[in-house]
Structure 1
């Protein structure tokens, strides 16, 4: 069944990937209307999240943000498919790095870097970052159940020689690189809800107490790695700008969870500025400390 699903879907993805952008976004418009008005994909989850974290917005304002989000969601899905065949030149034009010299400065410190992301704007097109760095690039991802689609995602995201590693491999790969003296830049998407354990850190995100991932911070402190944030803004449809914001070159100087909180504050600032570009379909605030 996994292979059959792949055989049926792959040709569609490839055909989408070779479409001109103007036609691609016409399809995205139609798909967003279908998801929002007909299928209603996770509409209740999206609206509930928006209402929870943006309590000062009116119902009309929340509905408008919700509609804009579905349009952006479909854009992102089709842009991911477009990555299959897009040229390096085109991608660098559409995903601009505003301060690549900061990568060079961080590499000059001769320390590996942990680069934290939020599910904001576009994280898929950040695969082009490998063109701006000399260190080996790694991206942490959650392995897909379908092994054929998992390979496709790895191939797409590894297009510019960034190596994907699963969440289970992360610690061992980074540790081994440090033992061997191989400096690296590893990207973490760190703003979603972790599995609940007794040791989980309950931080504040968008004004709500919620469990938070702390893996990047813990690794940075243990191995004395630089930790930074990739701030990605959507300039207009199909065009993004990224900025590297260094959070700390000496993570051991910070108290526990302080760097995690700094990261969350950066994500929050972007959400408040343009909430429609955040990934609202996940149940990010599903856990309540008093009931767990």
Structure 2
């Protein structure tokens, strides 16, 4: 194995100057009117189909694994939609972080909020079962219309990008908790807070089991069960979608009953089934550019050319 690239230790590191220039441009883009911003994002996504060849290939592999019932032409059409949606998400993030003049609440439809309100009224901490839809940052801002909450996330290796994300979410997020800090997450839940947590990425095989996701073995961390048990929390699915016309929807599902069950593998498989249910509603908006299946039981990655 090669050595891991050393992370810049200080924001003044000259290696971060290109990032600073990019962030300045990102701020300017964020000032665009929302519909124009999304239109520009769609253009960026169409361009990325041709330029971001590695991400395009990963997306096509994922869709072939997860949607074998589709023809090759149908999968390519969906992959193009994924790239366009991802382009929207990138510029959408700029507006979410840098343009507070836009009242996105006027563009929002919410379903299932009563599930969350009932759990909080009973004094329970709530573990929101998050999902990596690409509207994740505008979704966080929209969630902040109803309550402040905390998020569990993986810190970015680039300190300037990490600062952008944590400060950009700071207006509506109480705490950004490193995903390795299980104790802090549990403490927040025991205090009756709401914590957003998404276990649907491949973080390796440590503390993970292979359970199906769209019929494919997916290395999935088992921490959801432990967090819910230790935090005495109610687990409520939370999905967020981008709708036509620059509108949005947040959907809260019913709390997971008899969870955790005491069987980590069964619980983790249930989590994946739940996430799959919501992804199928708008598959083009899911993070298919991520190598979700890079670890496999036989050690062979489907992404190797």
Whether TM-score is above 0.5 comes out as yes
Q: Which of 61, 86, 97 is the aligned partner of 1:48?
A: 61
Question: Deviation digits for residues 101-154 of structure 1, max 9, x if unmatched?
Answer: 322211012121111111125221222323323xx5110111111212211110
Q: In the aligned structure 2, how far is the partner of 1:161 from the partner of 1:119?
A: 17
In 2: Cα distance, 1:266 partner to 1:108 partner: 24
* Alpha-carbon separation, structure 2, partners of 1:207 and 1:253: 22
- 1:31 aligns with 44
Aligned to 1:160: 172
Counterpart residue number, 1:211 = 219
**Residue 140 of structure 1 pairs with residue 148 of structure 2:** no
**Distance in structure 2 (CA, Å) of the matches to 1:68 and 1:175:** 38
> For the structure 1 residues 95 and 139, does the alpha-carbon distance in structure 2 shift closer, same or farther, using more than 3 Å as the test?
farther
What residue number does 1:150 align with? 162
In structure 2, C-alpha distance between the alignment counterparts of 1:165 and 1:250, rounded to whole Å:
26
Instruction: Say how many residue pairs are matched.
Output: 286
Cα distance change of structure 1 residues 61 and 177 upon mapping to structure 2, 3 Å threshold: closer
| Residue 240 (structure 1) aligned to one of 234, 248, 264 | 248
Query: Which TM-score applies when normalising by structure 2?
Result: 0.85
RMSD: 2.2
2:192 matches 1:183: yes
Whether the 8 Å contact between 1:103 and 1:132 is mirrored in structure 2 is no
Which whole-Å CA distance do the structure 2 matches of 1:139 and 1:212 have between them?
A: 19
CA distance in 2, matches of 1:59, 1:115: 35
94, 98, 102: which one pairs with 2:111?
98
Using the alignment, how far apart are the partners of 1:14 and 1:234 within structure 2? Answer: 22
Shift of 1:203: 0.8
Alignment of 1:8-87 (within 5 A): 8-87=21-100
Which residue of 1 is the match for residue 184 of structure 2? 173
Q: For 2:104 and 2:159, how far apart are their aligned partners in 1?
A: 27
Listed as ranges, the gaps of 5+ residues in structure 2 are 1-13, 301-305
- The DSSP-based 3-state class of the residue aligned with 2:168 is helix
Structure 2 equivalent of residue 195 of structure 1: 204
**Residue 238 of structure 2: aligned partner:** 230
Deviations 1:142-172 (A, max 9, x none): 1111212211110111222432111123x12
- Aligned residue among 264, 286, 290 for 1:256: 264
Residue 96 to residue 85, structure 1, CA distance change in 2 (3 Å): farther
Question: Residues 219 and 29 (structure 1 numbering): CA distance in 2 closer, same or farther, change over 3 Å?
Answer: closer
Cα distance change on mapping 1:258 and 1:95 into 2, 3 Å: farther
User: Using the alignment, how far apart are the partners of 1:52 and 1:161 within structure 2?
Assistant: 35
**Cα shift at 1:236:** 1.7
The 3 A distance-change label for structure 1 pair 291 and 145 is closer
CA–CA distance in structure 2, aligned partners of residues 89 and 28 of structure 1:
17
Higher helix share: 1
Q: Whole-Å Cα distance in 2 between the matches of residues 95 and 164 of structure 1? A: 24
Query: Secondary structure of 1:131's partner?
Result: coil
Residue 241 of structure 1 deviates from its aligned partner by 0.8
Q: What is aligned with 2:3?
A: none
Written as runs of structure 1 = structure 2, the 5 A alignment for 1:2-13 is 2-13=15-26
Distance in structure 2 (CA, Å) of the matches to 1:250 and 1:258: 12
SS at match of 1:42: helix
**Contact 1:141/1:166, CA 8 A, preserved across alignment:** yes
C-alpha distance in 1, partners of 2:212/2:167?
35
Output the CA distance in 2 between the equivalents of 1:254 and 1:239. Answer: 40
CA distance in 2, matches of 1:113, 1:226: 5
